[in-house]
A and B are shown apart, each in its own frame.
Chain A
Amino acid sequence: MSFFFEVLITGLLVGVMYALVALGFALIFKASDVFNMAQGDMSLLAGLALVGFLQMNFPLWLALICTLAVMVILAYITVFVILRPLVARPPLMLFMATFGLAYLIQGIGQSIWGTDAKGLELGIPDKSFDVAGVFFSSFDLTFAGIAVVLLILLVWFFQKTRTGRALRAVSDDHEAALSVGIPLLRAWLVTWIVAGIVAIVAGVAWGTTLGVQFSLSYIALKALPVLIIGGLDSIPGAIIAGLIVGAGENLAEVFLGPYVGGGIQTFFPYLMALVVLYFKPYGLFGKEIIERV
């Protein structure tokens, strides 16, 4: 029985890491109705930058600040060069623009900091300890804690601050927002910077686990089913769905995997997403789009 719990807990903790990436997606979607295909590559960029700065022998705090600066620059370029001309266009076009953005970030990031895999050592303790017969890793717990803090901060941001509320109000009609005088682009800038911070956290979390390399951007693909299950624009949904997917995937791999040849975790989250969509086409907590004829 404790084996089951161990698998469950490991899955939940992995799920937290997925949720971190999904959070970035949900954030940008909620605030600007843009589905950001580049989120995974943003995490990759954050990881590359951080490692790059560390390799230049910057102390950790300085490296983090510089990485933040990189993400801020990225946010500026994204919002003012790429998104601004597309403000009035349909969301599909903005989505495709983030497609292009993903390629750009990947190419530029790797050009500056190289394509080979790098290890990321941050000195986060990785001890495992035993609670009631189940093993926990302090590493995973640290990131779970960070995720919870992030979640609380983001929910507070959107519910309580003026900027957050303004963003929610205008996310579906950009032109209306502009015409009412809401500084849409500045609001977007804030959103993308925050998403950049989330990307840094995700990049660090995954980079220390897997090493920083190109395949980091694939993690985003894992986070997409999380996003669907939670609902594209739901911040708490991203966390809850992350937990569900992480646990589900791990349990399936361990208990079902051996019967069908293994490797289930590559597609199981997607299968879960399809099932959820069948019952709830907008995810568990997503906002339903009502067509007004």
Chain B
Amino acid sequence: MFYRECGNFKDTYARDMAIFPIPLDRYGFIVMLIVAFLVIPLVASDYWITNIMVPFYCFGLSAIGLNILAGYAGQISIGHAAFMAVGAYASLILYGRYGVPLIPSILGAGVVSAGVGVFFGLPSLKIKGFYLAIATLASQFIIQWLIVHWKWVSGGVFGTVETPNMQIFGWALDTAVKKYYLSLCIVGVLALFAKNLVRGQLGRNWMAIRDMDFAAEIIGVNLYRDKLIAFAVATFYAGVAGSLITFCYYGAANIEEFHVMVSFALMGMIIIGGLGTILGSFLGAGFFVLLPIGINQSMGAFMKVVPSDILSNIETIIFGGLIALFLIVEPFGMARLWQTIKDKLRLWPFPY
């Protein structure tokens, strides 16, 4: 009853194909935007803003990229974090070393990442399935090695480069809240772009490639071009996410933050969140960021101080258990779960 669709007639195709055809969805989204832009910066503590919200947005963005590649276009990629690293270092080099303004640096880093991504995506033209998955793992290790050993990039043995102070047109971005807004705006805009891409023909072509690639080709889809575009977009998003999280959270580009376990975690995020959905990417990222805190709080009810290795073990168990659970019970992830809840609300309190 709350989630009404009756009486909601679409009189133009444009309205039928809008992102939020149902008014309640639209209002809900606007409320969310208000919360994100106004409520959180006012109400939340700096700790929450910097350590929870910013990583949430950044991992969400990266997950969108991976979801486009794996969830929509069906190209399994388990080396995604490496492209975040490329973005992180590239943006630092552009901004810190060459003085390119901040936002072009971040976006430029995405472009660099996309270039690298297309290169490592070339195998997808010939190989598929698990062979491709492992080829993407190659990109993780090769990129990692290159970043550490290529002095021009990392400037030293330890592969860490600190971020210089951030400013846009002389306006310094030195507080947590300002960095929060930077992340929010960039992530928001890019998420919108992604949504537009996937609801249009490109998204449909990608899903066609995922579902039956020979049929897609015979209908006229250019497999080579669209697969490479998927890699380009996905790694662009990863690169931007990597640079954002470096500037606004980590404070320094450190290759250790983008190692293979992060790639696996990203995979887990989109599985739990929902493959082939934009919403799911954020749900999965949110889950991942909040999980350690959730466990900490609930264990804190039982014991004063939780030893860190028990904490990480429980996190691992729950993460893995939920991946398996979702695959068995709801393979389309939390996004589908949310959709089901909304569907039930349409009829509630009536049973059918």
Do A and B have CB atoms closer than 8 angstroms in the complex? Answer: yes
Chain A residues in the interface with B (C-beta under 8 A): 29, 35, 82, 85-86, 89, 91-93, 95-97, 99-108, 110-111, 115, 221, 224-225, 227-228, 232, 260-264, 266-267, 270-271, 273-274, 277-278, 281-283, 286, 289, 291, 293
Q: Which residues of A contact B137 (CB under 8 A)?
A: 221, 224, 270
> Once the chains are docked, how many angstroms separate the CA of A104 from the CA of B331?
18
Q: Which residues of B contact A281 (CB under 8 A)?
A: 126-127, 131
23 A-B pairs whose Cβ atoms sit less than 8 Å apart in the complex: A85-B328, A86-B328, A89-B327, A97-B323, A97-B324, A97-B327, A100-B322, A103-B316, A104-B324, A107-B320, A111-B317, A115-B309, A221-B260, A227-B134, A228-B134, A228-B135, A267-B145, A270-B142, A271-B142, A274-B135, A281-B126, A281-B127, A283-B131
5 A-B pairs closest in CB distance: A103-B320, A100-B323, A107-B316, A107-B317, A270-B138
> Once the chains are docked, how many angstroms separate the CA of A60 from the CA of B271?
41
B27 lies within 8 A of chain A by Cβ: no
Tell me the smallest distance from the CB of A283 to a CB of chain B, in Å.
Answer: 7
Q: Would you call B316 and A267 a contact (CB within 8 A)?
A: no
Q: Which residues of B contact A278 (CB under 8 A)?
A: 123, 126
Q: Would you call B331 and A93 a contact (CB within 8 A)?
A: yes
Tell me the smallest distance from the CB of A42 to a CB of chain B, in Å.
Answer: 13
* Nearest-CB residue, chain A, relative to B149: A261
Tell me the smallest distance from the CB of A165 to a CB of chain B, in Å.
Answer: 24
Q: Which of B248-279 contact A (CB under 8 A)?
A: 260, 264, 267-268, 271
Q: Which of A96, A108, A221 has the most CB of B within 10 A?
A: A96
Q: Which residues of B contact A263 (CB under 8 A)?
A: 145, 148-149
Tell me the smallest distance from the CB of B125 to a CB of chain A, in Å.
Answer: 10
Tell me the smallest distance from the CB of A3 to a CB of chain B, in Å.
Answer: 25
> Once the chains are docked, how many angstroms separate the CA of A110 from the CA of B331?
28
Q: Would you call A101 and B214 a contact (CB within 8 A)?
A: no
* New A-B contacts (16) at CB < 8 Å, excluding given A99-B271, A111-B314: A92-B129, A95-B76, A96-B323, A96-B327, A97-B328, A100-B322, A101-B324, A103-B320, A104-B321, A110-B309, A110-B316, A270-B141, A273-B135, A274-B138, A277-B131, A281-B131
B310 lies within 8 A of chain A by Cβ: yes
> Once the chains are docked, how many angstroms separate the CA of A107 from the CA of B318?
9
Q: Which residues of A contact B320 (CB under 8 A)?
A: 99-107
Q: Would you call A224 and B134 a contact (CB within 8 A)?
A: yes
Contact A103:B323 (CB < 8 A) given known A93-B331, A267-B138: yes
B130 lies within 8 A of chain A by Cβ: yes
- Total of A-B residue pairs, C-beta within 8 Å: 133
* Nearest-CB residue, chain B, relative to A96: B271
Tell me the smallest distance from the CB of A228 to a CB of chain B, in Å.
Answer: 5
* Nearest-CB residue, chain B, relative to A25: B130
The one of B131, B267, B314, B327 in contact with A228, judged by C-beta atoms closer than 8 angstroms, is B131
* Nearest-CB residue, chain B, relative to A228: B134
Tell me the smallest distance from the CB of B140 to a CB of chain A, in Å.
Answer: 8
Could you tell me how many residues of chain B have their Cβ less than 8 Å away from some Cβ of chain A? 41
Q: Which residues of A contact B129 (CB under 8 A)?
A: 91-92, 289
* Nearest-CB residue, chain B, relative to A105: B320
Q: Would you call A225 and B131 a contact (CB within 8 A)?
A: no
* Nearest-CB residue, chain B, relative to A100: B323
> Once the chains are docked, how many angstroms separate the CA of A107 from the CA of B264?
15
B287 lies within 8 A of chain A by Cβ: no
> Once the chains are docked, how many angstroms separate the CA of A206 from the CA of B140?
23
Q: Would you call A89 and B317 a contact (CB within 8 A)?
A: no
Q: Which residues of A contact B181 (CB under 8 A)?
A: none
Q: Which of B80-135 contact A (CB under 8 A)?
A: 123, 126-127, 129-131, 133-135
Q: Would you call A100 and B321 a contact (CB within 8 A)?
A: yes
Tell me the smallest distance from the CB of B274 to a CB of chain A, in Å.
Answer: 13
Q: Which residues of A contact B3 (CB under 8 A)?
A: none
> Once the chains are docked, how many angstroms separate the CA of A293 from the CA of B219?
14
Q: Which residues of A contact B76 (CB under 8 A)?
A: 92, 95
> Once the chains are docked, how many angstroms separate the CA of A142 from the CA of B320?
36
Q: Which of B313-348 contact A (CB under 8 A)?
A: 313-317, 319-325, 327-328, 331
B183 lies within 8 A of chain A by Cβ: no
Q: Would you call B323 and A99 a contact (CB within 8 A)?
A: yes
Q: Would you call A274 and B267 a contact (CB within 8 A)?
A: no
Q: Would you call A264 and B145 a contact (CB within 8 A)?
A: yes
Q: Which of B211-241 contact A (CB under 8 A)?
A: 214
Tell me the smallest distance from the CB of B242 to a CB of chain A, in Å.
Answer: 19
B144 lies within 8 A of chain A by Cβ: yes
Q: Which residues of A contact B327 (CB under 8 A)?
A: 86, 89, 93, 96-97, 100
Q: Would you call B141 and A267 a contact (CB within 8 A)?
A: yes
Q: Would you call A99 and B268 a contact (CB within 8 A)?
A: yes
> Once the chains are docked, how many angstroms separate the CA of A95 from the CA of B148?
31
Tell me the smallest distance from the CB of A277 to a CB of chain B, in Å.
Answer: 6
Tell me the smallest distance from the CB of B185 to a CB of chain A, in Å.
Answer: 33
* Nearest-CB residue, chain A, relative to B326: A100
Q: Would you call A103 and B317 a contact (CB within 8 A)?
A: yes
Tell me the smallest distance from the CB of A218 to a CB of chain B, in Å.
Answer: 8
Tell me the smallest distance from the CB of A272 to a CB of chain B, in Å.
Answer: 9
Q: Would you call B134 and A273 a contact (CB within 8 A)?
A: yes
Tell me the smallest distance from the CB of A288 to a CB of chain B, in Å.
Answer: 11
Task: Fill in one digit per residue for B169-206: 1 if any A CB lies within 8 Å of its CB, else 0.
Answer: 00000000000000000000000000000000000000
Q: Which residues of A contact B328 (CB under 8 A)?
A: 82, 85-86, 97
The one of B131, B310, B321 in contact with A232, judged by C-beta atoms closer than 8 angstroms, is B131
* Nearest-CB residue, chain B, relative to A102: B320
> Once the chains are docked, how many angstroms separate the CA of A83 from the CA of B142?
33
Q: Which residues of B contact A273 (CB under 8 A)?
A: 134-135, 138
Q: Would you call A267 and B142 a contact (CB within 8 A)?
A: yes
> Once the chains are docked, how many angstroms separate the CA of A120 from the CA of B145?
30
Q: Would you call A260 and B134 a contact (CB within 8 A)?
A: no
> Once the chains are docked, how many angstroms separate the CA of A75 from the CA of B319?
20
